[in-house]
Amino acid sequence: MSQQRWHPFATPESLRQAIADKLCAYANACITERGVFTLVLAGGETPRTIYAMLRHCQTDWQCWQVYFGDERCLPEGDPQRNDSMACSSWLDHVPLPTQNIHRIPADKGAAFAVPHYAQLLAGVPLFDLVLLGLGEDAHTASLFPGHDWGALAGSPAVLAVSGAPKPPTERITLSAQRLGMSRAVWFIVSGKNKQEALRRWRAGEPIPASAVNSTDSVDIFFDCAL
C-alpha cells in the first residue's frame, strides 16, 4: 500500500488555492521534465472552483493531456456530466487543444464506452496526476461500497457501474488498479459531511478510497477537523 500523507486546511478557500497553485507548479515541472502532463480529473462539485482557478495557470496548455476518472451515463453536454463541469468551469476557457481532452463516451453506453476508453488508456502507461474526490459513503470516482472496485492486480482498467447509490445510477469508472497507475494521487476532500468517511479511512477500514494507490504516495487534502 502507498504511504498516505494527510494535509489539513483551515478553510475550503485555503484548500482550493493550495491545490490550484500546487497543481499548476507540478504540471509545469512535469512538462519541463518530460514535455507532457497527463492528468485525470475528479468529478463531483468539490473541484469546480479549483478548475476555475486553473484558468489562470501560466503553462503550455498544448502539453496537457486530460482524462476523466469517471463519467455519468448521460447525453453529451448534459450539465451533470463530469466533462461538462470541467469544460464549463475551466477547459473551455484555456487554449488546451480539444483533441487533448479525452472524454469517456458514456452517452454511448457501457458496451461501447468501456472497451473504447480501456484501449485509449492502454497507450498511457502512467499518469502524472490523478485527482479524486470522496463521497460521504467513502466512495471515490464511481467505485462504491459493495461494488467491484477493480482493486486486484490484473483487474480491467475501466468498469461499468450499474445501480450506483449516487445518481445517476449508470456510470463508467476507472478501476482502483488503473487509477493507481500514476506518479501522484491527490484526494480533495471538502466539507464536514466527509468527516466520518475520512475517519474510517484513517482508521484503516477497507473503503474504496483506500484501494487506490500510486507509484509513490497518496496525498489527502482536507478542510474538516478529524
C-alpha cell at 149: 472496485
Could you tell me if 9 and 226 are in contact, meaning their C-beta atoms sit under 8 angstroms apart?
A: no
Contact positions with ligand 6PG (CB under 6 A) in 1-30 = none
From candidates 105, 135, 150, 180, binder to ligand 6PG by CB under 6 A: 135
What is the pattern of x (binds ligand 6PG, CB under 6 A) and - over residues 28-67? --------------xxxxx---------------------
| Grid cell 478548475 in the structure block, residue | 51
Alpha carbons within 13 A on the beta-carbon side of 77: 0
Min dist CB 34 to ligand 6PG, Å, is 27
As a whole number of angstroms, the distance between CA 17 and CA 44 comes to 18
As a whole number of angstroms, the distance between CA 51 and CA 40 comes to 12
- By CB under 6 A, residue 70 contacts ligand 6PG: yes
- By CB under 6 A, residue 214 contacts ligand 6PG: no
- 156/168 with CB nearer ligand 6PG: 168
Evaluate the CA torsion angle 19, 25, 30, 35 in order and state its sign: positive
- By CB under 6 A, residue 105 contacts ligand 6PG: no
Backbone angles phi, psi at 207, to 5 degrees: -105, 165
- By CB under 6 A, residue 147 contacts ligand 6PG: no
Binding residues for ligand 6PG, per CB under 6 A?
A: 42-46, 70, 72, 82, 133-135, 139-141, 166
